[in-house]
């Protein structure tokens, strides 16, 4: 994406609903009026609603919920995360794409975003429904210097960042179901998939996939998901600005992640617990092996592992499972 186009977009967003003259834009950016005009045409083609009125100039009329590279980059508030952005209208899976990029040495903080996934995936090879234009389907590549067993902590850190971002932008207060679901009234709004590339005991890259139902209507979900899934729009009755939510997730993630790298997991753990839905409750944990353990969710340990106490007083350490509350 051209830097100039991105800067024009930023100027228009910063002066939403005011006219900016072509001359003013040229003076600020040091380019010709023809160049400005061409970039504006491109932005209009990408779906931005920009008026152009003779003698007044250009004006952005409505916040765009449209997802594009320019839209995501225009108000990014992070130092590092997301600046190396790979945006695609459609991909089989952002997670798969991020794995390839990470193997090829993609920088720490690289973000892959798609407006649609044809074969989005969840844990254990499950499908993740990701229709065009309705959600956030993205994968973040990070390269922390941590031990393998610490990686579940990053799923929990991500959940906190996502819950905070949803609240900031939409006002909705979701809760977290260990390990990777963000729910509202028992319905899944967001799923998180954390995967690694490692060599011996050393983490080479962690790929964090986030799938969020933002502007989907009930009709957009297949029947088997209608009872279990919901979008933010279905909760608030209005459309939400996906680029703003992505920017907020990255901002919160970066803050929490820096705290985590400098001070460890303790603060993240406390924050996570404040949003957790299942702690102190009787739950069922279905493990990957297919066993179901019923017990009291006592909390998480310092590594992010769930502690489940069965009737006989044994505390089981649950590394991976599906939970029913």
| Binding residues vs ligand BT5 (CB under 6 A) | 93-95, 117, 120-124, 126-130, 137-139, 180, 188, 191-193, 209-211, 213, 225, 229
Residue 53 or residue 219: which is nearer to ligand BT5 going by CB?
219
Residues 213/210/109/253 CA torsion (nearest 10 deg): 80
Residue 40 or residue 318: which is nearer to ligand BT5 going by CB?
318
Q: How far is the CB of 176 from ligand BT5 (least distance, A)?
A: 12
Are 177 and 183 within 8 A, CB to CB?
Answer: yes
Q: Cβ contacts of residue 7 below 8 Å, gap of 6+?
A: 28, 29
CB atoms within 10 A of CB 201: 8
Q: How far is the CB of 205 from ligand BT5 (least distance, A)?
A: 15
Q: How far is the CB of 190 from ligand BT5 (least distance, A)?
A: 8
Q: How far is the CB of 269 from ligand BT5 (least distance, A)?
A: 21
Residue 128 or residue 272: which is nearer to ligand BT5 going by CB?
128
Measured CA angle at 213 (ends 159, 124), to 5 deg:
65
Which is it for strands 111-114 and 85-88: parallel, antiparallel or unpaired?
Answer: parallel
Residue 12 or residue 113: which is nearer to ligand BT5 going by CB?
113
DSSP for 35-74, please give it. Answer: HHHHHHHHHHHTT--EEEETTTEEEE-S------HHHHHH
Q: How far is the CB of 19 from ligand BT5 (least distance, A)?
A: 39
Token code pair at residue 323:
């939970």
Q: How far is the CB of 94 from ligand BT5 (least distance, A)?
A: 4
Please provide residue 207's backbone torsions phi and psi, each rounded to the nearest 5 degrees.
Answer: -115, 115
Residue 223 or residue 312: which is nearer to ligand BT5 going by CB?
223
Q: Cβ contacts of residue 137 below 8 Å, gap of 6+?
A: 91, 94, 113, 114, 115, 116, 117, 120, 128, 130, 210, 211
Residue 97 or residue 254: which is nearer to ligand BT5 going by CB?
97
The residue nearest ligand BT5 at its CB is 191
Residue 153 or residue 158: which is nearer to ligand BT5 going by CB?
158
Pick from 159, 138, 155: nearest CA to 243: 138
Q: How far is the CB of 113 from ligand BT5 (least distance, A)?
A: 9
Residue 64 or residue 213: which is nearer to ligand BT5 going by CB?
213
Q: How far is the CB of 62 from ligand BT5 (least distance, A)?
A: 27
d(CA 102, CA 110): 9
d(CA 73, CA 250): 11
User: Which letter does DSSP use for residue 309 in this model?
Assistant: E
Residue 48 or residue 221: which is nearer to ligand BT5 going by CB?
221
Token code pair at residue 315:
């505390």
Q: How far is the CB of 53 from ligand BT5 (least distance, A)?
A: 40
Strand ranges across the sheet with 175-177: 85-88, 111-114, 135-142, 202-213, 187-199, 181-184, 175-177
């Amino acid at each position: 994406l051209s830097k100039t186009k991105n800067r024009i977009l930023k100027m228009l967003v910063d002066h939403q609903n005011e006219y900016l003259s072509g001359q003013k834009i040229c003076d600020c950016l040091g380019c010709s009026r023809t160049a400005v005009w061409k970039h504006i045409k491109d932005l209009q083609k990408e779906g931005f609603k920009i008026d152009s009125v003779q003698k007044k100039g250009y004006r952005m009329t409505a916040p765009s919920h449209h997802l594009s590279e320019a839209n995501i980059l225009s108000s990014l508030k992070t130092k590092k995360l997301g600046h190396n952005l790979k945006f695609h209208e459609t991909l089989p899976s952002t997670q798969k794409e991020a794995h390839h990029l990470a193997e090829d040495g993609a920088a720490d903080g690289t973000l892959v975003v798609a407006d649609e996934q044809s074969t989005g995936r969840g844990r254990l090879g499950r499908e993740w429904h990701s229709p065009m234009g309705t959600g956030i389907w993205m994968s973040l590549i990070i390269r922390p210097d941590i031990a393998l067993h610490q990686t579940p902590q990053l799923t929990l850190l991500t959940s906190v960042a996502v819950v905070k971002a949803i609240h900031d932008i939409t006002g909705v207060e979701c809760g977290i179901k260990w390990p990777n679901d963000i729910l509202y009234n028992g319905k899944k709004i967001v799923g998180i998939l954390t995967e690694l590339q490692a060599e011996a005991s050393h983490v080479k890259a962690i790929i964090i996939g986030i799938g969020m139902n933002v502007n989907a209507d009930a009709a957009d979900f297949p029947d088997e998901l209608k009872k279990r899934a919901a979008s933010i729009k279905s909760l608030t009755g209005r459309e939400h600005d996906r680029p703003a939510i992505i920017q907020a997730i990255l901002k919160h993630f970066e803050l929490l992640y820096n705290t985590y790298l400098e001070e460890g997991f303790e603060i993240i753990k406390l924050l996570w617990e404040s949003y957790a839905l299942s702690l102190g409750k009787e739950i069922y944990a279905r493990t990957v092996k297919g066993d179901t353990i019923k017990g009291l969710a006592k909390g998480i340990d310092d590594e992010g592992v769930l502690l489940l106490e069965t009737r006989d007083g044994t505390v089981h350490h649950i590394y991976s499972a599906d939970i029913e509350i």
